[in-house]
Structure 1
Amino acid sequence: MTKKTINDLNINYELEGEGKTIVFVHGLSDSLAYWKVLSENLKNDYKTLIYDLRGHGESSDDDKNTTINLYQEDLYQLLKALNIENAVFVGLSLGGNIILDLAVNHPEMVNGLVVMSSFPEHDENLKKIFNDFDNAIDQGFVEFFDTILHYTLTDDMLEEHKELLENVKFEAAKTANLEGIKKGINAGYGFNLTDRLNEINVPTLVIAGEEDNLTTLDIQRKISDNIRDCELIVLEKTKHNILIGRNIEKLLNIINDFMLKIE
């Protein structure tokens, strides 16, 4: 892993491979490790960039009020520092917000978008859910993990991987940056890009979980309906966490096929 000083922060990243560039942006409370299963499979054909958002993983943070636009500006400056002129961007949840914001503010950098489990605006239902997340993180990472878990995985997966998830929870709690997670939650409040989505004129995929009860299909259709060159793909038996075992091969095929369409 390598670090770059961006906006007075140390941003942790991995850049591998050659060819067209794919940049992966993770979601709330995750890290660059979330994307390993995809980046490791794609780095032989493409240049892949994975990185930790400010206040996540091994990236540092500051005392600024964190917003989606600030995350986006970090990404923009990281791309400039790495001499990446343009790329295809893949973002999950919070990461999807960030790449949509980048596409609106720096369209010259964006050749295509793959937006997973994201939202274009912070509506009243999301506000209630985020309030629950905010209250949970104040109690600690274990409480936060338990609160989000039923939004991320289907009941059959929760049961099948019950012991593993318990181990993951307590291991993650040892290093979790609670303040960074709280800032990430608060960054979503007031976010609204719906009216500017029609400015995006690059090929876009919106990938949604059929059973997502956090960023519901109706929310994600607001993205696909407002971007001209956009396709909505719905994955069966999937909630908010798109990147589950049974979807990996399908997602790799979707991304590879999408990359073939990008000039």
Structure 2
Amino acid sequence: MSATGNYAQVNGLNMYYETHGEGRPLILIHGGLMSGEAFGATITALAEKRQVILPDLQGHGRTGDIDRPIDPDLMCDDIAALIDHLGLDRPDLIGYSLGGAVALRTAIKYPEKVGKLVSASANIRRDATYPDMLVQQSQVNAAAAEFMKDTPMYELYARVAPRPEDFPQLLQKLGDLMAKDFDLTEEVRGLQVPTLVMAADADMQPPSHYVEVFKLLDGGLRDGGWMGEGRPKGGHALAIVPGTTHYNLADSPLFTIISLGFLDEPAA
């Protein structure tokens, strides 16, 4: 898999990104404690049809941290700045987990910069997450770094991060983020970008939460009709991916097939 790696100066970040393939631009945004390369074979599959731009988010992968919280409300500004830096004309966005939250907020805040959106495994309310998962998330902090030294996430971080010693700081910032309450119901209701809401059938939140998000987008409220006339007015869609979890959704071949099927569908 050949790739071109570069850095862009955006909002005080020295943001690393790679470019794979050719075609209509697509920005693919990774999850927390990951980096762009963690998408693995999914990058290759998407790059067969698209130019895939793969940023490493603040404090992740080859992008060093800066003195601000890790927060999707701020990180969406980085994606918008990267779009401007690269001179892209309304690229599509695919975001997974933390990346899904960043992509969703980018589409909410900068609809004029985005073509279509795939928001995968990105809940819109903190309280939609299973209670036992919220307990686990509350244990993520700087002190947990020592216990994660044998995990693939730490191995990746230690191999590519500009300052591997920042790992405890990354965990602390992610823990702070996960402890923060949020509710994007009204923002999602006003979303102007055609959006595919995607989740695993065994995700961190129940499938019913993602159905709820789809309903906010005028979906699941009526029969779609023989000619699709009853589908959501904004071109939105829903996919619950069978046989997957939060942790392997983006590795599934269905992730690519469903995403490209939605993104490449002509506008109604």
- The separation in 2 between residues aligned to 1:28 and 1:111, in whole angstroms, is 24
Which of 54, 58, 62 is equivalent to 1:54?
58
Establish whether residue 32 from structure 1 lines up as the match of residue 36 from structure 2: yes
CA distance in 2, matches of 1:8, 1:85: 23
Q: Report how far residue 10 of structure 1 moved.
A: 0.9
1:139 equivalent in alignment to 2:139: no
Query: Is the CA contact (8 Å cut-off) linking 2:200 and 2:249 kept in structure 1?
Result: no
Count how many residue pairs are aligned between Structure 1 and Structure 2.
240
Partner in structure 1 of residue 222 of structure 2:
none
Mapped to 2, the partners of 1:170 and 1:257 lie a distance apart of: 34
Q: Deviations over 1:49-68 (max 9, x none)?
A: 11111011110111213322
Report what 2:192 is aligned to. Answer: 201
In structure 2, stretches of 5+ residues that fail to align are: 219-234
> Which residue pairs with 2:172 in the alignment?
182
User: So what's the TM-score if we normalise by structure 2?
Assistant: 0.79
**Equivalents in 2 of 1:105, 1:56: separation in Å?**
23
Match of 1:191 in 2: 182
Do 1:20 and 1:46's aligned partners in 2 also have CA atoms closer than 8 Å?
Answer: yes
When residues 172 and 38 of structure 1 are mapped into structure 2, their CA distance, relative to the original with a 3 A threshold, is closer
C-alpha RMSD of the superposition: 2.6
In 2, distance between residues paired with 1:167 and 1:28?
14
Alignment of 1:33-112 (within 5 A): 33-112=37-116
Bigger drift between 60-69 and 100-109 goes to 60-69
TM-score normalized with structure 1 length: 0.80
Q: Which moved more, 1:229-238 or 1:45-54?
A: 229-238
CA distance in 2 between partners of 1:23 and 1:102 (Å): 11
Q: Is the contact between residue 20 and residue 47 of structure 1 (CA under 8 Å) also seen in structure 2?
A: yes
How far off is 1:180 after superposition?
Answer: 2.1
**Percentage of matched positions with identical amino acids:** 23
**CA-to-aligned-CA distance 1:32-62 (integer Å, 9 cap, x gap):** 0122322222223211111111011110111
Structure 1: gaps (5+ residues)? 146-165
Report which of the two has the higher share of helix.
1
How far does residue 124 in structure 1 lie from its aligned partner after superposition?
A: 7.3
Shift of 1:13: 0.5
Partner-residue secondary structure (3-state), 1:55: coil
Any conservation in 2 of the 1:133–1:144 contact (CA below 8 Å)? no
Q: Which residue of the partner structure matches residue 230 of structure 2?
A: none
